[in-house]
Amino acid sequence: MDTAGSFLPIIAALPFLGALFPGLMIQAGRNTCAAFTAAPTILALVLLLLCAPAVMHGEVLQFQLPWLPKLGLNVNFMLDGLGLLFAGLILGIGLLIILYARFYLSREDPMGQFYTYLLLFQGAMVGIVLSDNILLLLVFWELTSLSSFLLIGYWKHLPEGRQGARMALTVTGTGGLAMIAGMLILGNIVGSYDLSVILTQKEAIQADPMYLPALLLILAGCFTKSAQFPFHFWLPHAMAAPTPVSAYLHSATMVKAGLFLMARMWPVLAGTPEWFYIVATTGLITMLIGAKIALFKDDLKALLAFSTVSHLGLITMLLGFGTKMAAVAAVFHIINHATFKAALFMSAGIVDHETHTRDIKRLGGLRHLMPITFVIVTFAALSMAGIPLLNGFLSKEMMLEEASHTVWQGNHWIVPALATLGALFSVAYSFRYIVHVFWGPVRDDYPSKPHDPGFGMWAAPAFLVVLVVAIGLAPFLAEPLVRASAGAVIGGALPEFHLKIWHGITPALFMSGAAVLGGAILLALHAPMMRLWLATPRPEAKTMFDGLTRAATRASRAFTNGVHNGALTRNGATFTVTVLAAGWLAWAGGETLPASREMLPIAALPAIGWMLLVVATIGLVAFHRNRFLALVLMGIVGLIVSLGFVYFSAPDLALTQISVEVVTIILLLLALNFIPRTTPVESSPARRMRDAAIAIAGGVAVTGLTYAILISDFAFESISAFHLANSYKGGGGTNVVNVILVDFRGFDTYGEIIVLGIAALVIFALTDTVLKGAGGRWLANWDQSKYREAGDRHPLMMVVATRVMMPIALMVGAFIFLRGHNEPGGGFIAGLIVAIAFLMQYMASGFAWAESRQRVTYHATIGVGVLIASLTGLGAWLAGKPFLTSAYGYITLPPIEKFEWATAMAFDTGVFLTVVGAVMLALNSLSSMARRTGETVNIFPMDINPARADADGTDEGGK
């Protein structure tokens, strides 16, 4: 990587960094805000110009930074001739747009917000043209859709602005999703996602059977972004944006992204019949449709928007021809179109700004009132028409020349004739812009008295018109850039050519003359043709789009409401059936592994435990409506599972399972105080039969899969061998399970304790919300005394026993915590044990007694626990290790013997505190509901239905 190559990520990053400043600098004034917006663009442009000499001499500058190399995602940038051309247009015209917008936007428009969106969009576009990795390119591609959505919808008070933004995002975003799939196919064909590698694999790509699917998907993204038929309709609706946005999108950025990608992929995708017929035909149709519609638009920006669609089609058609000279013509027209179209849009904005209208029927005679604007528009529009001595003429002649040699389905005249017709319409609407807006008598009914604006507003379009004239008179000035960028498109030797004004007597000259003459005649006949146009029925793309989106929305809503109707049973049934179907497809399409293991003899004790588990599970299904009995059966199931862990020599899992069961059973018993004792019948017998069938099918499938795994030897090696071999030397502990939790898979544990803390906070928030509403008032009037079945809520024996056992339980928790790295135990189990000890105090002595002795808030306990765990992970980073990598060593403290000290203990401390805090916060939240009743915690549920209780606290359903 050379020095110039290191500029590339800086160039791509500068607009994004610059986007931080406009929102702040607007407080210092509009000029300051504009200056701070222009600064990063200027700096990026300067760095680009520093790279330009090497690129113009044929070098390709690269910057490579591995990011996720195993996924093929690297931060790679590349600058060749094509990237230089587009980056120069994006930054150069972007700088002019910043200047223009400073004087165009009114004081009521939030300028800081506008410039922020503009720089975000600029950065996304620069990222696209500099990316050397297609996955990175896709990220920037989607960013252009999002940032253009913000720009197009900048005037939020306009309904057409909001709709135009949604339409652009929908169309370009959908195409982007298709393009992602195509790019992934392309990367899979080549075996690399780097463009510099892909562009060298033309033969492999075009010979692959996935070439056509990849081509169609990639072109879908290009066509939607560049407004090609039938996706052309979104671009004219984007004109609802402020004129600076329209000028930028239509000339150098948004719509040019699709053209850039077609040009970038030209070396490997072009040259096939599929490419020719899809790309060239689409471009030709778009060119004709856009030009014809533009002629009959009365809104200045609408006329220019459809003319943009037409010229984008022209460039697409040239790229679709697949010849080297056509690619040169396409590159040249990209330059020319950017100059005259940006100038025309900014001039239309000037007319609108000064006259307060864009309606051509309300304009005319402006050449006397706005002479500077008239000169700018005249030169730019004549260039768009392809009149000699202007740059548009040169690339139009090259286009007609290539069209005259193009054969479509064996026909030699259809492409030249249609290309000439498209050029004829182009001449007509360009002449109309000049004649109907600036010629004719001065009117006395303008909405506002027109006059030329100040220098700040017309300076940018005037500069572009100077380029239009300079390139037209001296085309050799643009030839080096055209050669460098066309060479990058072609990916090989350039054809022999020179940009010049006169090419001799050629078919293109006659085609061009016919287009100019026909365009003038068409303008003269505009009035009767306009009446014919208005009287002719024609499909409206916007109407079809709105109808399609409404239909899609209705279908989506119907499907969503049908599947996600809030019923957990339906969600569970849908999920289970989907998993079963996917599993069956995988099973039916794969090979069955042969049975290679014999079944072990069944001992009496495991068989009894299995029978108890089955009976308890069936009982849970049969009696699940009795919530208290269901909870007891759940405890039995959990206990038997714990015994199963003991039987299979998994003491850590057994300890965890038992402690979790105790905590959850106690909390659920407390929650049963506030819900009915029984679950109401809500499902019909047919639905219950359906659910039973799905459940049985799922159980059979899981059983079959488990049995198949147990009787077969798999070809892969279990990861357990790695953990056993590296537990001590890598993590410093002999308890493999604990080392996995705090080291090898420490990040998983870290995420789990965060989720546990969030769950406790959610319980607290929900109960706090309930207590502040009608539920709190109901609880305050609820008399539990008549539902109490036990005489003493705080039995003396239980109070004494729990207080005596408290220090013992804490000591056991400390013991389990300290031994966890080498023996069964650890922070999670210790936290549950200590939480159980605290729970027993609440159960025995009541919430008020326990709370009065509380010294630490449970919210803080959770926060400190997560913070300690986080700091442990950050410490590993500071040591140059992956997040949460543990370190260990041995310390000798006389007279104590040498002992081990590991950073995993700090992480385990965080786990311990989070678990204790989460459990106790959940208890605190549920107990606070009991406190509202004037009582303390009652661990045994009562037969009470809050939903049916009267306002005075009585319950008709109680016993």
Q: What is the pLDDT of residues 596-620, one digit of tens each?
A: 778 888 888 888 888 988 999 899 8
Q: What is the C-alpha separation between 429 and 433, in angstroms, rounded? A: 6
Q: Are 398 and 330 in contact (CB under 8 A)?
A: no
* Mean pLDDT on 578-584: 89
Poorest-pLDDT segment among 56-60, 129-133, 640-644, 764-768: 764-768
pLDDT confidence bin for 952, thresholds 50/70/90: very low
* Mean pLDDT on 464-481: 93
The answer on pLDDT for 788 being more than 80 is: no
* Average predicted confidence (pLDDT) for the chain: 85
* Mean pLDDT on 314-329: 94
Helix spans in 541-626 (H): 541-563, 568-589, 604-622
What local confidence, expressed as pLDDT, does residue 951 receive?
36
Poorest-pLDDT segment among 631-640, 879-888, 936-945: 936-945
* Mean pLDDT on 698-713: 85
**pTM to 2 decimals?**
0.72
455 sits in the region (left: phi over 0; alpha: psi -120 to 50; else beta) called alpha
State what percent of residues in the chain have pLDDT above 70. 92
Q: What is the C-alpha separation between 728 and 718, in angstroms, rounded? A: 18
The answer on pLDDT for 790 being more than 50 is: no
Poorest-pLDDT segment among 286-300, 461-475, 705-719: 705-719
The answer on pLDDT for 958 being more than 70 is: no
pLDDT confidence bin for 897, thresholds 50/70/90: low
The answer on pLDDT for 676 being more than 90 is: no
Q: Are 179 and 142 in contact (CB under 8 A)?
A: no
**Could you read off the pLDDT of 473-521 as tens digits, one per residue?**
999 999 999 999 999 999 888 888 888 888 778 888 899 999 999 999 9
* Mean pLDDT on 187-216: 91
Cα end-to-end span (Å), the chain: 83
Helix axes 479-490, 324-355, angle to 10 degrees: 120
- Select the highest-mean-pLDDT range: 22-26, 149-153, 212-216: 212-216
**Who wins on pLDDT, 722 or 17?**
17
Poorest-pLDDT segment among 54-58, 530-534, 579-583, 952-956: 952-956
Instruction: State which H helix or E strand residue 817 sits in.
Output: helix 796-819
What local confidence, expressed as pLDDT, does residue 922 receive?
84
* Mean pLDDT on 1-21: 85
The dihedrals phi and psi of 372, each to the nearest 5 degrees, come to -65, -45
**145, 362, 717, 736, 744 from 720: Cα distances, Å:** 46, 81, 9, 9, 12
* Mean pLDDT on 402-424: 92
pLDDT confidence bin for 839, thresholds 50/70/90: confident
Closest Cα to residue 364, out of 451, 450, 438, 447?
Answer: 438
Q: Are 756 and 827 in contact (CB under 8 A)?
A: no
**309, 385, 436, 517, 541 from 304: Cα distances, Å:** 9, 12, 14, 21, 18
State what percent of residues in the chain have pLDDT above 90. 39
pLDDT confidence bin for 943, thresholds 50/70/90: very low
The answer on pLDDT for 447 being more than 90 is: no
pLDDT confidence bin for 948, thresholds 50/70/90: very low
What local confidence, expressed as pLDDT, does residue 391 receive?
92
Q: What is the C-alpha separation between 261 and 228, in angstroms, rounded? A: 14
Quote the tokens at residue 7.
Answer: 């500029």
Q: What is the C-alpha separation between 174 and 162, in angstroms, rounded? A: 18
Closest Cα to residue 163, out of 175, 149, 176, 173?
Answer: 149
* Mean pLDDT on 43-49: 94
* Mean pLDDT on 219-233: 90
**63, 606, 642, 654 from 649: Cα distances, Å:** 54, 13, 11, 9
pLDDT confidence bin for 879, thresholds 50/70/90: confident
Quote the tokens at residue 937.
Answer: 């915690």
pLDDT confidence bin for 945, thresholds 50/70/90: very low
**Could you read off the pLDDT of 351-369 as tens digits, one per residue?**
999 998 999 999 988 998 9
Q: Are 292 and 238 in contact (CB under 8 A)?
A: no
Poorest-pLDDT segment among 16-20, 63-67, 691-695: 63-67
Q: Are 291 and 251 in contact (CB under 8 A)?
A: no
Poorest-pLDDT segment among 468-472, 512-516, 792-796, 924-928: 792-796
Q: How many residues does the chain have?
A: 959
What local confidence, expressed as pLDDT, does residue 387 receive?
93
The answer on pLDDT for 460 being more than 80 is: yes
* CA atoms within 13 A of residue 772's CA, in its CB half-sphere: 6
* Mean pLDDT on 162-186: 90
What local confidence, expressed as pLDDT, does residue 900 receive?
66
What local confidence, expressed as pLDDT, does residue 502 receive?
81
